[in-house]
Amino acid sequence: VYSHPGETERDFRMRLSQVAREKRDEEVDNLTDKYEKSVRKVENKLRRAEASLVKKKAKAGAHKKEMAVSVGESVLGMFMGRRSTRTASKAMTKYRQSKMAGMEVDEAEETVEILQDEIKGLEQELKEETEAITKQWDEVLEKIEEVPIKPRKNDVQVDVFALAWVPHWHIAYKDGKASHTELVAAY
């Protein structure tokens, strides 16, 4: 950015500050758009992961209830004198299903935490890069360098060249002691 002829340093600094602000805002807007797209993608993944977590928690709860009922049946059957390997096997199957459902819930919770951390990381990166851009443009404002420019012959442009002639009379006369001259228009 160059100063205009006759522009004061104060006016130039104000104009430069305005240009720097516009450039900074443009860069920050582009950066924000880029990060918003990334954050939206991760937020969509997070919503799906949270929905999956809710389903898996419900499934795990149902498996725990089924396991409790099955274990209760087995214990009650043993007290009633029925020894059935089928009910014990069924109880073990329900226990395994309950454990697997619990592990799926843990994995889903971990996925949700990872995605939340990823969103926080993206927001932190955006903040840091925005600060870096602001700092960069602030430094540009500090680096004003005055460079004197000498005009060259080919930098001078003559727009109008004219010759004007105004006719007049040159009159010389003496007034006693002194002599005088005057120009009188001849038109």
DSSP string, 5-29: TT--HHHHHHHHHHHHHHHHHHHHH
Strands 168-175 and 178-185: antiparallel
Distance from C-alpha of 52 to C-alpha of 58, rounded to nearest angstrom: 10
CB count, 10 Å around CB of 137? 19
Token pair of 52 as six digits: 């999956």
> Can you give the length of the chain in residues?
187
The domain segmentation of the chain, as residue ranges, is 9-151
pLDDT at position 115, please?
94
pTM for the predicted model, two decimal places: 0.58
Token pair of 94 as six digits: 């329900």
φ, ψ for residue 169, nearest 5 deg? -100, 135
Looking at residue 128, its amino acid is E
Lookup result for tokens 């006719």: 167
pLDDT at position 68, please?
80
Distance from C-alpha of 140 to C-alpha of 26, rounded to nearest angstrom: 16
How close are the terminal C-alpha atoms of the chain, in Å? 54
Distance from C-alpha of 122 to C-alpha of 44, rounded to nearest angstrom: 14
Using CA atoms, how far residue 14 sits from 2, 128, 134, in Å, is 13, 27, 17
Mean pLDDT by 10 residues, the chain (187 residues): 84 90 94 93 93 89 80 73 67 80 89 94 94 91 82 85 90 89 88
pLDDT at position 24, please?
93
pLDDT at position 86, please?
67
Looking at residue 126, its amino acid is L
